[in-house]
Structure 1
Amino acid sequence: MPLKDVNVIIDLMKPAPKVGLGTPLLLVEAVGTPAYKEYLSLEALAADYASGTAVHAKAQTILAQKNRPAKIAVASFETGAADAALDTFYNRAWHFVLLAENDPADQLDVANVVAGKDFKLFVAQVADNTGREALADKARTVIVDHDVAGEHLDAAIVGDLGSQTVGSITWKFKGGFAGMTGRYLSEAQLAEIEADNAIAYVHKAGKAQLSEGYDATGEYIDVLHGQDFVKVDMENEVQYALQNAPKVPFDARGISLITAAATTTLQRAFNQGIVAQREDGQPSYTIQALSRDQVDAQDRAERNYKGLSFQFELAGAIHRVDPIKGEILV
């Protein structure tokens, strides 16, 4: 039997809460059987990973940020087996994975796993063209181009942005990361980075800020994070409805209960900024629920309701205002 009774599948259609969805996972190479552990503080982590280790350095950067997550997870892997360990621990309560050491081979392995799952995000720090190009077009991999020695921009942005309310922010323009140095890049240098769908921490308009907010395929991080939120939240809401009722009958009463649970998620997503607002001020989503008579008799016999579907329009974000036209009257 499956571990989940509710499964939400979301297709992203394109035209021609701080808990769980912000928790970072640090992958570290170590001898021995892969292990997973969560830490609520840097002091607790230091008992296993002392100051000076790569894990401690990235954890310290994460926890130094203004909007730091409530906890950090660490998973170990044997040499060359980052992908296997990640697969083993994929269903734990984390959402952003980082490597303690930016090894290119491990980065590629992790990127392939995350792309294959189409759920959660990998944030990888690179220092040059070769690093960026190795991860090109990897879905759900955020490539961070940062060559300042000793700085962990991947950890800083996950620590500060990952735990903010899903849908409330876009990652572009964000800055003020503790311990990070903004770079002064020419237009040509930045264009080269962005050609690989990578992100830099660069000075613009007198402020150090992220140059963009997308993954290696060009999809926006807030869209992916929002998609994951709707999936997890709706699965939980429907599961709660099934668990908390003495029985959910396979008729209009039960179908209404499930529909209400799904509506709760979509309304929450609207309030958080994931779902767009229509011109009349109402959220732009729809839910369709087949009646008992419209559902296949075999599905009724197996007690599997397959009649619920929904659509919503993404709120998105404005990333450019170009041009703004003006006139001077004499």
Structure 2
Amino acid sequence: MVETITDVRPFTRVKDVDVEMTVVKPSAIIGLGNLLILHEVDAGSSSTAPKPALADTGTGKDTPAKSDTGKTTGTTDGKATDDGSKTINVPKITPVAPVTGVPDKLEPNDVLNGVLSRKTDPYTGAQYVEYATADAVGAYYDKTDPIYIKSDNYFMQEAASDRIAVLNYPKGKLADALKAFWYYNWAFMIFDKSQFTDTTPSDDAIIASNICEANKDHFLVLQATQPAAYVTFYAQNYTIGLIHDLSEPMDAALIGATATLTVGLVTWKFRKLKGITADQITVQEKSAIDRVHAIAYIEVSGQGETSEGWVLSGDYIDSLHGDLWVKTNMGDKI
């Protein structure tokens, strides 16, 4: 085992200033406009996992790719000493099978289909997958699946990125799953399914919102049909609330149309969204939406446009997104 020697100081040089830096956490790797779709996988359901890729076995027949979940990875039980006097217990990590049932290793068909990467968190089984196109998503999800519908609309927008990510997480493990993949290549997240029962938000929606609020470097976008749904999220700086019919993915459309554009040169208000029907609303309805700082897609002078560009606290998305851009780029240059 390699030991850390602590009784030797670094060499000095003839100058008046010594600079010491401590890295608190790794530099964030963030696609500042990239989108992540959150998908809860029920352990008792067999219809939510993407179809496994087929591997060429050399026999001329395609067979399902074998999972590598039986391999032991990570650390094992044991003891190690750091300076000859203290003993460190190293816990054993028992890998958890990916909730999708699909191994991380990309097979040739995965690459051909447009899968960019696949990674499983060994602690929870949550699996993060990046796809290059809507067709790539469609190779693993049915065309009626909300994941495909939102991906398809996202790539329909003019400012869509070159990828979209899906995080498949076990029920009750959203916080752990997000912790595992927080600094991957995305900055905005949405759920594949509605997170409201009438106007009551789900536990996962509250958890995701609070995590964004604590870290201040990612955004959650929610979609509901009633302004009252956002009362729980009042004053959240990193949660964006949309009001629109749930049959249309306004959340994916808004991110695809706006998030990758040059920060500081674009407003999130007046955005035009492809594939989204503009709502005709009354003055009273707009006042109710504005009161909770939500955003609607409304018809104005015969054209559709987003009604506002703010988060649920009333602060503006472009301002907070700009702060994130500055912090990320300064951190990278430092």
Q: Same fold (TM over 0.5)?
A: yes
Deviation at 1:48, TM superposition (A): 2.6
2:279–2:297 Cα contact (<8 Å) kept: yes
Tell me what 1:116 maps to: 214
Matches within 5 A, 1:246-285: none
1:21 aligns with 2:32: yes
Displacement of 1:3 in angstroms is 7.1
For 1:140 and 1:25, how far apart are their aligned partners in 2? 15
Give the CA deviation at 1:84: 2.5
TM-score under structure 2 length normalisation = 0.64
- Give distance in 2, aligned partners of 1:169 and 1:86: 28
- Match of 1:164, SS state, is coil
Do structure 1's residue 169 and structure 2's residue 266 form an aligned pair?
A: yes
Gaps of 5+ in 2: 1-21, 44-98, 100-124, 196-200
Residues 239-250 of structure 1 aligned to structure 2 (within 5 Å): none
Counterpart for residue 288 of structure 2 = 192
| Number of matched pairs | 225
Cα distance, 1:21 vs structure 2: 0.6
1:232 equivalent in alignment to 2:324: no
Aligned to 2:225: 127
Q: Identity of counterpart residues, as a percentage? A: 29
- In structure 2, C-alpha distance between the alignment counterparts of 1:139 and 1:84, rounded to whole Å: 22
Moved over 4 A (4+): 1-7
The C-alpha deviation readout for 1:24-47, integer Å capped at 9, x for no partner, is 011101142101111111222223
Q: Which residue of 2 aligns with 1:67?
A: 159
| Distance in structure 2 (CA, Å) of the matches to 1:228 and 1:60 | 27
Give distance in 2, aligned partners of 1:163 and 1:6: 20
Matched, 1:156 2:239: no
CA distance in 1 between partners of 2:320 and 2:241 (Å): 15
Q: Where do residues 196-211 of structure 1 align in structure 2 (5 Å cutoff)?
A: 196-211=292-307
Distance 1:214 1:27 in 2: 22
Q: Does 1:142 align with 2:247?
A: no
Deviations 1:208-242 (A, max 9, x none): 1111100000110000111111111111122xxxx
Q: For residue 3 of structure 2, what is the aligned residue in structure 1?
A: none
> Deviation per CA, 1:177-200, whole angstroms, max 9, x where unpaired?
111011111111000011001001
Instruction: Tell me the C-alpha RMSD between the 2 structures.
Output: 1.9
User: Retained in 1: the 8 A contact 2:222–2:241?
Assistant: yes
Q: Could you tell me the TM-score, scaled by structure 1's length?
A: 0.65
Q: Higher Cα Rg: structure 1 or 2?
A: 2
Does the aligned pair in 2 maintain the 1:64–1:178 contact within 8 Å? yes
Q: Is the Cα contact below 8 Å between 1:132 and 1:145 reproduced in 2?
A: no
* Mapped contact 1:62–1:158 kept (Cα < 8 A): yes
1:81, distance to aligned residue in structure 2 (A): 2.6
